[in-house]
Structure formats: structure tokens, C-alpha cells
Copies of this chain bind each other. A is one copy, B any other.
Amino acid sequence: MVIPELHPDCRPLAGLLGTWRGEGAGEYPTIESFTYVEEVTFDHVGKPFLRYDQRTRGASDGLPLHAETGYWRPAGPGHVEVVLSHPTGVAEVLEGSINSGPITVFDLHTTSVALTSTAKSVTRLHRRFELEGDVLRYRLAMAAVGQPLTHHLSAELRRVGEDSPTR
């Protein structure tokens, strides 16, 4: 198939394209701390958004832990909108800034969190990504199950593959 050209609106996000792998650590006041391995893919189809697909597995047992999938869409200079689905019944809409430099920072806050009836109560998230060449670090804070916005996850990933749209 023909690999489409990146939509010009997506240039501020171009450094995210590819497949990323690494390790992370999770903690929260209501649970035991844990470590995980993660794989994230950002790809595109030539339209003004990137596809985002993330999965984590337990660091020791390799069993699937979390997953999330969605889209990043540029929304004017230095601004990005992100829509994510979680299999736990959470839909997350985030907006935030892109600060490009030797380290490019994407700083995203939820503007809406929508939940299914049986989902745990997640009310607010803050995601900060730092992109430095082939290294992507992130931190995630979450307000959930009655807790205020509290650090939950941090991970460092390395790019392991180029962007390769498959369809």
C-alpha cells in the first residue's frame, strides 16, 4: 500500500510517530504499587490526527494490565486535543499545550471524563509527556474514587519502530 504523507497540521506531533516500549511504575493511595512494561504506537493515515494505541503488561508475570486507545488532534498553534477510551468504562477528553524544543512537552488536562454505569469513579486526569528524540517519558496524575488529583503513573519509553501505517 501507499504510505500517506503526514498531514501538515500534524507536524507538531511528528516526533511521536512510531512504536515505543519501556517500563513504568504505578502507585495510588488506594492500591498496592506496581511496575509494568508498556507498548505505545502512534501512527497516521494522512488525515489531521494521530492514532494512539497503548497496552501495558505486568513487569513480572507479563499478563495484560491496562490498555487505552484514541486519537491526538492538533487544534491550532501549540495546542492539542486528545480523546481516549479505556476498557474500564472511561472516556477521557484532554486538551493542552505543546512546547517544542530539545525536549518537547505535551501538557494535557482532562476537560471531560465520561463514565459507564459500572466504571470506577475517575473525575480528572493530568498527563504530561516529555519527548526527547527517541525517548518518551510521561507522568499521569488522577483524581478517582474520592482521592484528589494524585500521582499515579510514570514511565520511560524508547522508540523501537518507525511509523508504519498498515491499512
Q: Which residues of B contact A113 (CB under 8 A)?
A: 114
Indicate how many identical chains form the complex. 2
Tell me the minimal C-beta distance from A70 to chain B in angstroms.
4
A93 to B64, Cβ gap below 8 A? Answer: no
Q: Mostly helix, strand, loop or mixed at chain A's interface? A: strand
- 8 A Cβ contacts from A35-56 to B: 39, 45-47, 49, 51, 53, 55
Q: What is the total number of residues of chain A having a CB less than 8 Å from a CB of chain B? A: 41
Q: Give Cα A90–Cα B91 distance, bound, in whole angstroms.
A: 10
A residues whose Cβ falls under 8 Å from a Cβ of B = 4, 39, 45-47, 49, 51, 53, 55, 64, 67, 69-71, 73, 75-76, 81-93, 95, 111-119, 167
